[in-house]
Amino acid sequence: MNRRDFLATGTTLTAAAALPTFTTDLHAHTAPTAMTETTAASDAPRATRKILIAGGGFRTKFIGLMAQLSGKPRARVCFLPTASADSESGIIAFYQNCAPLNVEPFVQRSFIESLSQTQGWDEVLLSMDAIVVSGGNTLNQQAIWKAQGIDVVLREAWNRGIVLGGASAGSLCWFDEGTTDSRPKALSIVKCLGFLKGSHSPHYDAEPGRRPLYQKLIASGEMQPGYACDNDAGLYFEDTTVKRVVATRQGAKCYYVSAANGVVTEKVLEPEQI
């Protein structure tokens, strides 16, 4: 429908017809109109929910593991590069990482307009077997997802058993909170989707400020205990339980970081190589 037809049609609608209502819980954001059928589907029995993260370096081997976890012979894998402002170089790298794999790669940009984006977020993302979230600015990613209702669709995807994952902003986004470089001057705390409880720190071995800040915040009680991942190391969660610890580089590790009486404990989680 073009803009002239849309305006003409709109003048014939009653206020009740023009403003559909949605039923949401206290933690949900109002969903777009296309989500009404999806919301009803959430009453169905829930599949095993799956998230695969890495501290950094979510390349071919991690995407291949996501495809394997989907259980599909030729998985439909979608790249969601919101945090990188739909970076073209990141999109090209995603296709390159998928090239050796038996998958169907897709990209869903967030910086779109309705003339060319003719399917809703739910129509695209819920048709996938796996969704890879890019690195980048986590704070901006969260703001855009919430404004667009993408956060609601991702929760539905998780509940349906679509494999979610990514590194950096693509790992941090699934937790309650974590450390981010999304603001000027210094690392800070960012609040995220809360699919996985607790906190997260990516790039644990790659950026000098990450480890001391994460431990300081947990020791002081400013941040919940949680998981830290070196670059090239990651965790696979089923529902909210860690099922596998994996790495694509020797020496890369994951950690569970907690504190008691202000004293930090860093438990090493040794990975299997993939």
Active site residues: 168, 203
Assess contact for 226 and 175: CB atoms under 8 A: yes
Question: Of 165, 130, 187, nearest to 51 (Cα)?
Answer: 165
Residue by residue, what is the 3-state secondary structure of 81-146? CHHHCCCHHHHHHHHHHHCCCCEEEEECCCCCCCCCCCCCHHHHHCCCCEEEECCCCHHHHHHHHH
Query: Any bridge partners for residue 257, and if so which?
Result: 226, 266
CA distance 68 to 261: 42
Q: In a 3-state reduction of DSSP, which class is residue 216?
A: helix
Q: Can you read off the two tokens belonging to residue 146?
A: 């919430």
Q: In a 3-state reduction of DSSP, which class is residue 237?
A: strand
On the CB side of 19, CA atoms within 13 Å amount to 3
Question: Of 95, 58, 89, 77, nearest to 203 (Cα)?
Answer: 58
Assess contact for 171 and 229: CB atoms under 8 A: yes
Length of the chain: 274
Question: Of 50, 55, 29, 27, nearest to 179 (Cα)?
Answer: 55
